[in-house]
Structure 1
């Protein structure tokens, strides 16, 4: 079931991002918020989550897309101050075939640290085993 709040946000009562975690917000703006991932890939792994419930990045409005990228930039500055990582991976799993398990758009901002893998070349290509190195 979905609910439309006075703010205009559309929430799903069966979605974990709509029903929990708002108390764990680290950063936010009008259309999105950031919180730490409960199963982090690395220290500081953040999720950037739109406040409106929708599944795909392709369903986001232009203001939502802009707000999501603004929050990614703000989150990067926040993590640079807090943890000083050496790089970042930014990822979206869009659809079950792409690995999406929570059907509410969320963007992973994953800090990377020198030496956290033997050879990071190929980065996000590693989502398909054997395709990272080319």
Structure 2
């Protein structure tokens, strides 16, 4: 069985964190500043999250937005999670995408067949 890439994330890659979640830049970004917010506890999908983890994601999302606004000055954001293979989930440690959007970009999210 392969080791979960999110469970073995080096500390040097962490952009921000709190007690239950951490944020880091996506290795395959859809746009400049694309960040993932990931719970520290391994769980396969968003529906396995505890209420405390969901609140923790919300708190970290606010901090990440401030960082991204300061560094990248996006015009908008896509925020979402893929749950299941049919929805495009490729790593089975749930996570939330924070995708900065810029006027004139494609405005779509990544999709793998």
- The TM-score normalised by the length of structure 2 is 0.90
Counterpart residue number, 2:94: 105
Q: Which runs of 5+ in 2 are unaligned?
A: none
Structure of larger gyration radius: 1
Aligned CA-pair RMSD: 1.9
- Given candidates 73, 81, 84, the residue that maps to 1:92 is 81
Higher relative contact order (CA 8 A, sep 6+): 2
1:22 Cα deviation from its structure 2 partner: 3.5
CA distance in 2, matches of 1:43, 1:51: 24
2:59 maps to which of 70, 74, 83: 70
Structure 1 unmatched runs, 5+: 2-12, 128-134
Runs of 4+ aligned structure 1 residues displaced above 6 Å come to none
How many residue pairs were aligned? 111
Whole-Å separation in 2 of the counterparts to 1:25 and 1:48: 10
